Amino acid sequence: MIHRGKLAQIHIAKAQLGLSDDEYRALLGRVAGVSSAKQLTNRNVGAVINEFQRLGWTPKSTNKAGRKAPRPPRSRAAVMGKVEALLADSNRPWAYADGMAQRMFSVDRIDWLDDDQLVRLMQGLVIDAKRRGK
């Protein structure tokens, strides 16, 4: 049996594509050899989701970091804005910056860095951007 999140994703895709119940079950039978999404396994659920995407369904993007952007005090807003711009330019989530903070300073979240550490993290992102040719 598949994870409930994947099951929900399949039903959302069905609704957004406007598939009738017969069309939906035909798709499941053709792609995965089952008649119900509850019968899917972890091996064939990816094929069903790929088929939905081939038919034009695009999953809504979610914040990969699982959290909103930090809200720094005004004194740090400029540097945090630069960090946010560098992350957006490289198409990376806030979790990437949190990981950098953990590796560089042993601090779990970028929100908890002091001013000097935040500037050094931003400089690391600038160096990364230069390496990527941005």
Question: How would you write the pLDDT of the chain (134 residues) with one tens digit per residue?
Answer: 788 888 888 999 999 999 999 999 999 999 999 999 888 888 888 889 999 999 998 887 655 545 777 888 888 889 999 999 999 999 899 999 999 999 999 999 998 999 999 999 999 999 999 998 87
Q: How far is it, in rounded angstroms, from Cα 76 to Cα 117?
A: 11
Asked whether 40 and 32 are in contact (CB, 8 A), the reply is yes
Domain shared by 47 and 91, yes or no = no
Domain enclosing residue 84, as ranges:
74-131
Q: How far is it, in rounded angstroms, from Cα 100 to Cα 29?
A: 45
Does 38 fall in a domain?
yes
pLDDT of residue 66: 58
Domain shared by 49 and 83, yes or no = no
Domain shared by 85 and 114, yes or no = yes
pLDDT of residue 2: 81
Does 17 fall in a domain?
yes
